[in-house]
Amino acid sequence: MAIAIRTDIAYQQCIGQGCGARFSVEEPLFECPKCGDLLDARYDWSRAALPKHLKDFEAKWARQDDPLAFSGVWRFHELLPFAGREHIMTLGEGRTILQRADRVAAFAGLAPGRLFLQYEGLNPSGSFKDNGMTAAFSHARLAGATRAACASTGNTSASVALYSAVDGRVPAVVLVGSGKIAYGKLAQALDYGVRVIQVQGDFDACMKRVKEVARELKIYLMNSLNPFRLEGQKTIMYRILEGLRWEVPDWVVVPGGNLGNSSAFGKAFQELVETGLIQRPPRLAVINAAGADTLYRLVNEERIAWNGGRVDEGRIAAFYSQMDAENRRAKTLASAIEINRPVNLKKCLRALEWTGGLVEKVTDQEILDAKAQVGAGGFGCEPASAASVAGVKKLRAAGVIGRDERVVCVLTGHALKDPHATVAYHTKKEGELAEAYGDYGIRTAAHANRPIVVEDNLEKIIAAIQA
Ligand code: F0G
């Protein structure tokens, strides 16, 4: 496919009902300057250089000496044509695998061959964030940014730090809640040499502050409020289709935190339908941790919906006021999604409408049990990611997902994140486990792989191996 990318067809547009203001693609914005609502990256598809069929992207597989064809994000450049080749900053991200997972299918109650896991932990910094970061750093270059900032529970900071370190032109600062960042991720951010600010507060506090900092100091914001981050994350869905030989699954299941992924995934499918590259979208299922269930409550209890753009903002504001009045704070072992106020809420509601999607929630116990099953099948994932598998099990038990439907779970982050919970799950006796993690509702470890303690004695070691 020798197609010249057309970037003159890209622009930014406010999603606000009654606003819809448009802005040039070159402007570094993370909110609508007119009304403060979220922005989309948009394209005039009628003038785009699109392939006729998704299968045409396969031509890129033969051109891996080209960094843009090597990247699992930029080999779909035609579907995110906002930056020319000269601006693109890629680290070969997105070379991730869609794996058929029959063992996990059995655990979740699906027929063999019906469950697939999309391992985004295999990205350069260990999470799906790199899909978004290559796009955002490319846009930052395009927009002439000289500094970047983000708030993070861990993965975003590691990814920003990695891209910033390699790029060398866009130094970054990351805001993390003290005691609220996963240790390994903090290690990455420190090691990659970015400025780390530990704020005495939680993720929501950091998120609020980083927006203020970005406005005040005109620093380029790398969180998923940034519409170009989401453009990169769309490609996870293209790779799922690629892994299924361009067939659309019945369900795509994803953990919900700040709701960037679910927003991006909905947009990816809506655009593929709009451009005629697929006929129907899969249904999106977004899974909250029970201890961080803002989306679940808003959608299933408050009945908040996108409603063609007429979102009941008053009701959302009242919900948040009540949350503050009751001092209800997110608490889950799935540290990545321990978020009270998801910034992409409205876009996620839109994605749910576009895809006939739904929201479920799962307990930390369900998450850790599912995580152990995923790990036992290879690669593994962090707790937040396993919420997707726990969600499928629950939706399957309720009969919402059929036994023979084809389901893809997005495993957003690597197994080496949050190892304390994993090691405790596999090693602690039940009483000790409840003592250490009872606060999170963890009582049992039904799928524990217990290490066997033996004396330094060959016979006993052999006996333990042979037992
Ligand atoms: N899974 C992982 C591994 C994550 O790191 C995150 C978000 C999510 C899921 C939630 O994704 O926001 O698109 O709904 N982590 C952010 C961070 C908050 O700072 O690394 P979402």
Give average pLDDT by consecutive 10-residue segment, the chain, 467 residues.
78 96 97 97 96 97 95 98 97 97 98 98 98 98 97 96 95 91 91 95 94 96 98 98 98 98 98 98 98 98 97 97 96 95 98 98 98 94 98 98 98 94 93 93 95 96 96
- Does ligand 1 come within 6 angstroms of the Cβ of 263? no
* Centre of ligand 1 from the C-alpha of residue 333, in Å: 13
Beta-bridge mates of residue 149: 173, 221
* Centre of ligand 1 from the C-alpha of residue 255, in Å: 8
Which H or E run includes 151?
strand 148-152
* Centre of ligand 1 from the C-alpha of residue 155, in Å: 7
Closest ligand 1 atom to residue 158 Cα is 20
- Does ligand 1 come within 6 angstroms of the Cβ of 256? yes
**Ordered DSSP codes for 251-313:** EEEEE-SSSHHHHHHHHHHHHHHHTTS-SSPPEEEEEEETTB-HHHIIIIIS----GGG---H
Closest ligand 1 atom to residue 342 Cα is 12
Sheet of 97-100: strands edge to edge? Answer: 97-100, 115-119, 407-411, 251-255, 283-289, 358-362
Q: Could you tell me how far CA 389 lies from the centroid of its own chain?
A: 14
For position 430, what pLDDT does the model report? 83
* Centre of ligand 1 from the C-alpha of residue 381, in Å: 13
* Centre of ligand 1 from the C-alpha of residue 224, in Å: 9
- Does ligand 1 come within 6 angstroms of the Cβ of 255? yes
Structure tokens belonging to residue 368: 């850790």
Phi, psi for residue 174 in degrees, rounded to 5:
-120, 135
How many CB atoms lie under 10 A from the CB of residue 424? Answer: 18
Which residues neighbour 144 within 8 Å (Cβ) at sequence distance 6 or greater?
26, 28
CB 340 within 8 A of CB 292: yes
- Does ligand 1 come within 6 angstroms of the Cβ of 258? yes
- d(Cα 72, Cα 94) in Å, to the nearest integer? 4
CB 223 within 8 A of CB 207: yes
How many CB atoms lie under 10 A from the CB of residue 54? Answer: 18
Closest ligand 1 atom to residue 233 Cα is 13
For position 1, what pLDDT does the model report? 47
- Does ligand 1 come within 6 angstroms of the Cβ of 337? yes
Closest ligand 1 atom to residue 263 Cα is 13
- Which amino acid is located at 217 in the chain? L
* Centre of ligand 1 from the C-alpha of residue 385, in Å: 9
* Centre of ligand 1 from the C-alpha of residue 320, in Å: 21
